[in-house]
Amino acid sequence: MKGKVTLIGAGPGDVGLLTLKGREALKHAEVVIYDRLVGDDVLKLIPKNAEKIDAGKESANHTIPQERINEILLEKALEGKNTIRLKGGDCFLFGRGGEELELLAKNDIDFEVIPGITSALAVPAYAGIPITHRDFVSSVHIITGHQKKNEPVKIDFDNCVSCKGTLVFLMGVSNMKLIMDGLMEHGMSKDMPSAVIEQGTRPRQRKVIATVGTIVDECKKQNIKSPAIIVVGEVCILSNQFDWFSKLPLKGKEIVVTRPKERQGVLSDKLKALGAHVIECPCIETKSLVDEITIDDILNRASNFNWIVFTSPAGVKSVMEPMKQKRYDARKLGNLKIAVIGKATGEELEKYGIFADIMPLTYGGKKLGEMLAKEAKQSERVLLLRAKKGAEEILLELDRAGLEYEDYPVYETFYQSDVTKVQEVSAMICDNQVDYVTFTSASTVEAFVSSIKCSMDCFTAVCIGEKTRLTAQKYGMKIIMSRNATTDDLVQCIVEHNC
């Protein structure tokens, strides 16, 4: 049985600009052939078990020639695979999507096209440039600034100048001088406003606003490189007035997120929404020690206790997921009272329809221990469900209060990092290119230091909790600490420090 090929326009880079239909189709991919300009966050949406093929498509340097890409699409479809062709921007706007469909149509392969948001519209918008405006211009013209290898650029400069509309040149950075000279030679004023926007819609976006006569030299001074688009027209003068993207509070900041992969999403998304470029570098992983057999042992033990204590979201998940798999609900916990170390742990528990009885306002094992000592009766017993090598703080407080407890490991933490990502982050830190590194536990600090072989005093460590702060301090880091142990407070801490 033949498979199907879906051409998806991935948009200009910002994952939020991938269409809902494109995102849904990507979920079911068995093979994905993607281009260089597809955003990293879009690539993360590719299913883990899907075959991934990098087609490159950099100017004059195609990892796979276009003819071969066409053949691969046909081959994978003939294998019966649900095949996705993931393309930057829109499939049919200088994306060669039509060429890729020709071979499929000849071989009677089912295909679908899901349009994408083109950089010709989105990138100027992210730079504060409305490409049409009733007070300035009523038409827009999108032109390719790139031609086939070894062929001259073919641009109708007479029509470009006489149309009096906004001109958007895609893939034209390497031919920028030729384009600007051609416009001026055919009658355009050298004082016509123009703009070049590099890495459009992405955190590292940069722009140059100048005139047709000066834009080439200005871009050379700022070392502007591909991918970038060129905009020519009176509307470019509105850029500084309407530029919302450059005004985001963390625009241009490089922030490393070290928390475990499964818990990166919310923090990373909040930082990106404020303009930061986020490098996800998880240095630890957690592994549950509880399965469908041991969960019964835990529940049997729990029946002899009055309190259950969770000190992390990982602990909650390690216990609750096996319960869920065995179709056990909250009734299995009987009359047990539950204590959690902080808001994130409480929120994880709430996903299973259970609400904590106590939670300290200030995150930390010591605070939770003090609160338990105050709330629990002397005769009550406490069962701690936490990491295999948990911190001693809470135990010291329980000992001090004379409470009987059992420390039961439900998961273990171990150092685990991606070698390529560690090398990238190390190089950036050594070159003083990292502004902040976030740490949500002492173990993330220890794991990060063991992986990154650079000085620890050339970035600002953003810590949750006193124990995390003290561990970071031990390694000579410059430190700021969030008021409370929440993602929102950690983000706010960075914003306030950056003001």
Tokens 């409305």 sit at which residue? 130
57 is known as an active-site residue: yes
Other beta carbons less than 10 A from residue 42's beta carbon:
24
Q: Which residues share a beta bridge with 11?
A: 89
* Alpha carbon 465 to its chain's center: 24
Both tokens of 390, joined, read: 């948990």
Q: Where are the beta strands (DSSP E) in 214-302?
A: 228-232, 254-257, 277-280, 284-288
Of these residues, 14, 57, 81, 366, which one is catalytic? 57
Which positions ≥6 away from 224 have C-beta within 8 Å? 173, 196, 198, 206, 208
Q: Indicate if the alpha-carbon torsion angle 351, 352, 356, 362 is positive or negative.
A: negative
Alpha-carbon span 225 to 196, nearest angstrom: 10
Element (H, E) at 170: strand 166-170
Alpha-carbon span 38 to 35, nearest angstrom: 6
270 is known as an active-site residue: no
Both tokens of 182, joined, read: 């051609």
438 close to 462: Cβ distance less than 8 angstroms: yes
414 close to 287: Cβ distance less than 8 angstroms: yes
Of these residues, 35, 41, 90, 435, which one is catalytic? 35
Residues designated catalytic: 35, 57
